Amino acid sequence: MRSSEAEPRRSGGIGWIPMTAVILALAAGPALVAFSGTPEAEAADALHLTLLGTFPAADTVLTEAPDEVRLWFSEAPQMRGSSVRLADAGGELVPTTEAAPEDGDETQVFITPEAPLSAGTYTVHWRVIAQDGHAQNGEFDFQIE
């Protein structure tokens, strides 16, 4: 009797512990993610510059070739280490001026193609250094009909 009474208790105990571990893991997982993603990450996001807009706007189709490519940021990037490059549909770099801040509004950075752009799809690759030293990069396409 003793052993048959002990057996279910024991198996019940074994079953209960893993279930508790699973529940704890499920509860702790999101909590840990939330914790690691909260105060420090938000502070870093607040410091990071963000891309506010571009000309041409991403994924637009233009009927006329733009004479520049311009990016607007939430703060003035550090120009040292920052770059904006233009590539054609084949991935070849299109000759442009070096990325330069707009006079009087250094939150805007622009490049100017050295020759008028022909019809086709282009990709803008940008990389900028925020005032806090963090690099941000991205790319977007536009098309000229």
Minimum CB distance to Cu ion, residue 103 (Å): 26
- Nearest 5°: the CA angle 13, 14, 17 is 85
Q: Which is nearer to Cu ion, 48 or 127 (CB)?
A: 48
Burial of residue 18 (CB within 10 Å: 0-12, 13-18, 19+) is exposed
Can you read off the two tokens belonging to residue 51?
A: 């891309």
Using Cβ positions, the residue closest to Cu ion within the complex turns out to be 134
Q: Which is nearer to Cu ion, 49 or 69 (CB)?
A: 49
Residues 6+ apart with CB under 8 A from 135: 81, 127, 128, 129
Minimum CB distance to Cu ion, residue 13 (Å): 50
Minimum CB distance to Cu ion, residue 133 (Å): 7
Question: Which residues would be at the binding site for Cu ion (CB under 5 A)?
Answer: 47-48, 130, 132, 134
CB 54 within 8 A of CB 73: no
Q: Which is nearer to Cu ion, 121 or 131 (CB)?
A: 131
Q: Which is nearer to Cu ion, 75 or 141 (CB)?
A: 75
Minimum CB distance to Cu ion, residue 83 (Å): 18
